[in-house]
Amino acid sequence: MQADDKTRLMYLTSLVAGRSFVPIGSGRQIIQSPTYIVKANIGTPAQSLLMALDTSTDMALVPCAGCVGCSSVTYDSAKSTSFSSLACGDQQCKQVQSSNCLGTTCSLNVTYGSSVIEANLAQDNLTLATDSVVGYPFSCIMKATGGSFPPQGVLGLGRGPLSFVSQSQALYKSTFSYCLPSFKSSNFSGTLRLGTNGQPINIKYTPLLVNPRRTSLYYVNLIGIRVGSKVVNIPPSALAFNPNTGGGTIIDSGTVFTRLVDGAYTAVRDEFRRRMGKAVVSSLGGFDTCYTVPIGKQVPTMTFMFPGLNMSLPQDNFLIHSSSGSTTCLAMSSSPALNVIANMQQQNHRIVFDIPNSRLGISREICS
């Protein structure tokens, strides 16, 4: 009874404006998509979609009724009394760099991963948990090609003017956090916390950086990586924040596996292999450091180091096992130009995005 009371109290306190708790689930288990999803209600009366959280995208991407190449679950604007299209002359259309206005409706061509999307810019009311954002602008998708688009759409949590973070600023003060459960978790046990009131008090922060080349992304200063007891010798240029090229390190909820610039990845991988001793290394798919023998005892610890905090990773956050269970791989790979701390490495951590104070918080939290 006491446990039920605690759950109910959390719900009741979330009804206070400016603070909402939204359940997060693993899309891999629920809709067979390698993303993390939340339930979003769009329109009047509300239509529900399980939308992918993406901190590196601004605009919401919503599959609309009649879309060619979309899944069977779509939003039908004809059934919503609060829907309206946006025209070429509207301010929101001017904020979309790729907008292509030949007629009256603001039409867009955008890419998402390997998918190409044709859409019209529209607006409708959007609700996560309890608070509604009235007149929320989004891309109403009419055609999608390519296989990387999440089946029920994308909720953009980037820093741009059309993102959920910016559009809900009056409610949540551009502050949010999430805890991503294990990708193996079959229920909505993670949480997206919106607003300043719901954030943890005792948490360490590191500065958030703004890169003028990629203003929507959440950059942080990764200053080192420790494998076991050793801080790996990484060339400073591999970790450097570079406002001229857009290089540096970002936190991203949409990428699955952490990517490190070649010099950094090679150094981390080689130290990991050295710590693994004489175990024979093989490759599997995109991973080049895999083992087919049991490796439990000799696996070293791994820590990402930032100014003000260290992010220590449990094994589940950097080792992945083949479906047959016979092969275990280091779940990281190389990147040509950008370090990306991805969602597998973030599992079971509370990540706080405090944009007004330009800081990012990280603490361990089990939410699987």
**Residue 310 pairs with which residues in a beta bridge?**
305
**Residue 362 pairs with which residues in a beta bridge?**
204, 351
CB of 127 closer than 8 Å to CB of 24: no
**Residue 123 pairs with which residues in a beta bridge?**
84, 137
Concerning whether 76 is annotated as a catalytic residue, the answer is no
CA distances to 97, 211, 264, 293, 298 from 166, rounded to whole Å, are 17, 18, 33, 49, 46
Q: Please, how many CA atoms are within 13 Å of residue 315, restricted to the half-sphere of its CB?
A: 9
Q: What angle do CA 49, 252, 331 make, to 5 degrees?
A: 105
336 C-beta neighbours (distance < 10 Å), count? 7
Q: Which strand (E) or helix (H) includes residue 144?
A: strand 131-145
124, 131, 252, 354: which one is catalytic? Answer: 252
54, 58, 124, 354: which one is catalytic? Answer: 54
Concerning whether 270 is annotated as a catalytic residue, the answer is no
Distance (Å, whole) CA 158 – CA 129? 20
168 C-beta neighbours (distance < 10 Å), count? 21
Would you name the residues annotated as active-site residues? 54, 252
